[in-house]
Structure 1
Amino acid sequence: MFKRSAPLGDRLTALDEAAAIASPYLPQSQLARIGQVAKAGAERRALSGDHTVVGFFGATGSGKTSLFNAVVGEDLGKAAARRPTTSSPLAAIWQPEGSEQLLDWLGVEDRRTRPGEFAPGAGPLILLDLPDFDSVEASNRAIAERLAGQVDVLVWVSDPEKYADSVIHDEFIRPHASHSAVTLAVLNKADLLHAGDVATVAGSFEELLRNDGLSKVRVIPTSTVTGFGIADIRAAIAKVAKAHTAQSARIEADIRSVTQDFSSLGKVGSVDKQAKRTMDATLAQAAGAQRIAETTAAAYRKRLHERTGWLLTSWITRFRPDPLKRLGLREESDTVGVHRTSMPELDAASKAVANRGVREYAAAAAAGLPHAWGTAVADRAEEISQGLPAELDRAVARTRLPAEPSKGWSVLTVLQWLALLAALVGVLWYLLVAFVPGVLTPLLGGDLVPQIEGWPIPTLLIMAGLLTGLVIGLTTAIFGGAIGSGVKRRTRQAVQKEVAAISQAAVVEPLEQIRADYDRFAEKIAVAAG
């Protein structure tokens, strides 16, 4: 189903909003051009909508002023008591009511009111005689260039000698090529040509204009000496004025001119999720997730051995430094996020890995974006890379490390102490029998070392205590190794989770904002372009 364009006012608003969105990205010259079109269009619509403004533009010697006077029907320069300067714009006005603010906006001070109508049904009309656009005076060129961007209809006046001048085409006509719907072209001084050559030269001029991009312009040959073609140019101006669409057509042409470079834009949406996962894995590697996981697992095994190992040897473990404390790692997560670990700063290799992860994600984030936004993504990624090592350190500081064995292992700790107590009872029994047997006589009678199946009970106590402690120690060491692998995996996942959160806030969101700005810009440009 055909979708109608937004109203012109909404299109101008969208264009102005597009300029604001693109201000951090596009070159200042391009932004100024977009902003100027939006501003000028809005200002022109706020002024008289009844008057059609037609500007006569021409190079020195083209007979532009003579043609202007012939179309007006009087030499206004001679008719005036005083004209401010010969380079000032001169306005001929039909039905001047309501034109004052419009002429003020155009910056035209010399104003001449004409009686009646320019042509039946033409309505309010303003014709402007403008300074030569190739004048050696910079101020004259500036006036012509400014008004070329403000008038509703442009009349390009040339002559047989200068119609092919590349400077005129390159610097003045071609920049306004998108305005062919509101452009008239005149080959003046046709009396200098043989009658049979007029159509040939006019055709050559038309071809040059088509090469400039003015596909809809017809060249009108004229002569102010013989009056040839004057009626044709008046008729062409009257036709445009009667349509009462020149103002809107001019504004639409301006909008097309500044949006054509973005005509192929479309929304890019979000970055592929796989790019984020790849970056997170790379950043976790740079942050030392594997080393932290191994250290946490080592700390878990050490503490488990201290708690459940054979008591005769496990005390030696306590003299070894705790792996986590040696790295300055916190076991409880730093929820505030301002503390840092005592781990050494990332070395050059780790920083290179982190930078690679960010660059690869930035490349994915820049995919599908125009050069200006792609450059902004690359620049922002470079800034992010500078502060990323500190962010990764904070991610580690916020990670809860599962290095402490659960309280369930306390049962085995109790058994270890009971086993040691049994062994000590056996040893003490033999000591009492050897040195103070009288202490045991009231309890055991004459048999101070009773036996079970031929085994002395003190010996059984010593053996059971030592073997039980040793078996428990070996068993927990085996289970500790297996559980340590799980601790390593959980630690690595916990670090990766915190790194993923850091990358989301520090990398993804800033770069996604640039992509979102581009999407908003593309949407506004689409509305403006209609």
Structure 2
Amino acid sequence: MSRHGLVRESSLLQRRLESLNAARELAEGVLPDPDLQSVYEVLERATSRRSLSADHTVVGFFGATGSGKSSLFNAVSDSSLATATARRPTTSAPLAGIWGEEGSGPLLDWLDVKERHTLPPVPGLAEENTGLVLLDLPDFDSTRVENREIVQRMVGMVDVLVWVLDPQKYADATVHHDFLRPMASHGAVTLVVLNQMDKLNTADAAAVMQSLEGILAGDGLGKVRVLGASALTGDGVQSLRAVIRKVVVQREATTERLAADVAKAAVELAKASGEGEARGVKGGTKARLASELSTAANVPVVVDAVHRSFKRESAKRTGWPVTRWLLRFRPDPLRRLNLGRDDTRPELNRTSLPPAGAPERARTDAAVRDFADDASAGAPGPWRAAIRSAARDGREELPDALDQAIAGTDLLAGKRPLWWLLFNTLQWIALVLAAGGLGWLGVLAALGYFQMPVPEVPRTEGWPWPTLMVAGGVVLGIALAITGRILGGWAARARASRAAKRLKAAVAAVAEQRIVEPVEVEITRLKAFNAALKAARPG
């Protein structure tokens, strides 16, 4: 691949790594920690590998006991390094053959490969500075736990995996179930070599190769390159060298390996999460939630109190002055609820509404649950649980928040209609008129009682003015009181309606802050997670 192509692939890989990391961060607290930890390890390995030599390709030879893996390593590298390892005190340490030592040190330190050998050029495989690192690794079916751990670690770290199988154990479940099948997504950086082909005749060799390819297809590696070879006779060794050389020269293996790691991690993260998007918050569900919370928070009780309080105050302001004082003995419904006061700070005030009982709490819980269920419909299980949890967390704070919202709502209790002033003025004029007539009649009666001259009073249509004054004042006062009661009833309903709108808006604001917004945050997080996961997976 050209340098321009390598840069493009590297940039694409970087974007996919960033997307996978974004998905991991978004899923924290939603998906199980082990799933997120495995993704974090993939990201850490990718970051570490990309910070090391890009001029070296690490090819690891993996095989079971008796597969001839070390012999094939020697044949390919044209050396006897692996044979020499049998004389070492331990065979659990990996061994490296290097073509191009410069820059390989930190990479081999990261791989934890202690034994390193710089090898001379091998025709058809590598020149002196090709940048190839061949690793001979312990047997993956070793009875030593340390050996198996090394193999499992190296499977996740080398750039190219060469699986060396033999005709007797090529179908062994250990290699297929524990290694090849889980790495099915890494077919682009996987080679399978059937070694010891010298033990088979032509017909048997073809049958075994066909059987092996069928098993690999069942493992999800139907497109993987399968080669036959014999380390003893050298058959197929040159072909294997050519394949390895091509991989090294193209310098795509590291990027392809890491891309496969990201794809696999993204797929596993998707399995842990599940597929789907949440239905989301709709206007109708928000309105139903606010309506249910309004009822549970006793908004109808407050609205009724506003209605009765206005009617009471209207009667006090517009009723007949002779009887209106009796209303002072009737408590103000709003004041009884500790509402409608001008001498308290709303943010510190609390109502005297009855605390939420079992029915109110059940209604609140049901409303929040129904809202969360509707909003989370379609979301995968873990995310649906997270959305519901966000709604439940907000529900715990609702009672106090709703009470404070009601207490802080301006119920317009201090707003006095202008017609009250007009009616009140007319009532007092009527009372003064009636009182003046009574006083006039009283004076006339007193003069008559003391046998004093009684002056003639003015008359209209035969009716004396004092009498007309008394009758007119009383009739006017009663008429004003009746009219004021009718108008007060209409105005009370209008005032209660406006108060209901304000209260419901306050309750809706609390619902938005405590329930709706946390739920929307989780839904948005799910959308971002799905988008990041899609960007991290292959197109």
**Do both proteins adopt the same fold according to a TM-score greater than 0.5, normalized to the shorter chain?**
yes
Match of 1:91, SS state, is strand
Q: CA RMSD in A?
A: 2.8
1:23-78 CA distance string (max 9 Å, x none) = 22222122122222222112211111111111112233333223222222233144
Match of 1:344, SS state, is coil
| AA of the residue aligned to 2:385 | T
Distance in 2 separating the partners of 1:334 and 1:154: 76
Distance 1:332 1:529, change over 3 A: farther
1:18 aligns with 23
Distance in 2 separating the partners of 1:218 and 1:67: 17
Distance in 2 separating the partners of 1:64 and 1:136: 17
| AA of the residue aligned to 2:323 | T
1:58-73 matched pairs, under 5 angstroms? 58-73=63-78
| AA of the residue aligned to 2:17 | L
Contact 2:82 2:136 in 1 (8 A): no
1:349 aligns with 359
Distance in 2 separating the partners of 1:92 and 1:62: 20
Contact 2:56 2:104 in 1 (8 A): yes
Match of 1:318, SS state, is helix
Distance 1:333 1:116, change over 3 A: farther
1:75 lines up with 2:97 in the alignment: no
Distance in 2 separating the partners of 1:336 and 1:135: 76
Residue range with higher mean Cα deviation, 35-44 or 492-501: 35-44
Contact 2:346 2:407 in 1 (8 A): no
Match of 2:329, SS state, is coil
1:124 lines up with 2:131 in the alignment: yes
TM-score by length of structure 1 reads 0.91
Which of 422, 439, 449 in structure 2 is aligned with 1:411?
A: 422
Contact 2:78 2:122 in 1 (8 A): no
Which of 155, 158, 161 in structure 1 is aligned with 2:162?
A: 155
| AA of the residue aligned to 1:289 | V
2:4 aligns with none
Distance in 2 separating the partners of 1:335 and 1:135: 78
1:500 lines up with 2:500 in the alignment: no
Match of 1:12, SS state, is helix
Match of 1:343, SS state, is coil
1:177 aligns with 184
Distance 1:21 1:405, change over 3 A: closer
Which of 225, 238, 242 in structure 1 is aligned with 2:232?
A: 225
1:369-448 matched pairs, under 5 angstroms? 369-404=379-414, 406-408=416-418, 409-437=420-448, 446-448=454-456
1:189-208 CA distance string (max 9 Å, x none) = 33444431222222222222
| AA of the residue aligned to 1:472 | L
Contact 1:330 1:341 in 2 (8 A): no
1:524 lines up with 2:532 in the alignment: yes
Which of 471, 476, 486 in structure 1 is aligned with 2:484?
A: 476
| AA of the residue aligned to 2:45 | A
1:316 aligns with 326
1:211 lines up with 2:211 in the alignment: no
Distance in 2 separating the partners of 1:315 and 1:405: 21
Match of 2:140, SS state, is coil
| AA of the residue aligned to 1:249 | E
1:220-248 CA distance string (max 9 Å, x none) = 23333343333332222222222211111
Following TM superposition, by how much is the alpha carbon of 1:314 offset from its aligned partner in structure 2, in angstroms?
2.1
Match of 2:396, SS state, is helix
Distance in 2 separating the partners of 1:333 and 1:203: 92
Distance 1:232 1:4, change over 3 A: closer
Distance in 1 separating the partners of 2:527 and 2:99: 47
Contact 2:184 2:220 in 1 (8 A): yes
2:295 aligns with 285
Match of 2:66, SS state, is coil
1:7 lines up with 2:12 in the alignment: yes
Contact 2:278 2:379 in 1 (8 A): yes
Distance 1:466 1:282, change over 3 A: same
Residue range with higher mean Cα deviation, 315-324 or 427-436: 427-436
2:3 aligns with none
1:456 aligns with 464
Distance in 2 separating the partners of 1:223 and 1:63: 9
Contact 1:340 1:394 in 2 (8 A): yes
Contact 2:397 2:514 in 1 (8 A): no
TM-score by length of structure 2 reads 0.90
1:262-277 matched pairs, under 5 angstroms? 271-277=281-287
2:48 aligns with 43
Distance in 2 separating the partners of 1:154 and 1:510: 47
1:390-449 CA distance string (max 9 Å, x none) = 1111111121112345251112112112212222222233333333459997xxx64455
Following TM superposition, by how much is the alpha carbon of 1:86 offset from its aligned partner in structure 2, in angstroms?
0.5
Distance in 1 separating the partners of 2:189 and 2:110: 20
Distance in 1 separating the partners of 2:396 and 2:493: 34
1:360-390 CA distance string (max 9 Å, x none) = 3222432443333222111121111112111
Following TM superposition, by how much is the alpha carbon of 1:84 offset from its aligned partner in structure 2, in angstroms?
6.2
Contact 2:108 2:114 in 1 (8 A): yes
Following TM superposition, by how much is the alpha carbon of 1:181 offset from its aligned partner in structure 2, in angstroms?
0.5
Distance 1:247 1:270, change over 3 A: same
Match of 1:7, SS state, is helix
2:142 aligns with 135
Residue range with higher mean Cα deviation, 94-103 or 510-519: 510-519
Q: Structure 2 unaligned runs (5+)?
A: 1-7
Distance in 1 separating the partners of 2:207 and 2:298: 79
Distance 1:293 1:177, change over 3 A: same
1:74-98 CA distance string (max 9 Å, x none) = 3314446974620111111112221
Q: Structure 1 unaligned runs (5+)?
A: none
Distance 1:337 1:208, change over 3 A: farther
1:514 lines up with 2:522 in the alignment: yes
Distance 1:334 1:494, change over 3 A: farther
| AA of the residue aligned to 2:203 | G
Match of 1:126, SS state, is strand
Distance 1:336 1:49, change over 3 A: farther
1:277-302 CA distance string (max 9 Å, x none) = 22222222221222211111111111
Following TM superposition, by how much is the alpha carbon of 1:275 offset from its aligned partner in structure 2, in angstroms?
2.4
Match of 2:379, SS state, is coil
Contact 1:324 1:330 in 2 (8 A): yes
Contact 1:203 1:219 in 2 (8 A): no
Contact 1:334 1:399 in 2 (8 A): no
Distance 1:170 1:439, change over 3 A: farther
Q: How many residues align?
A: 525
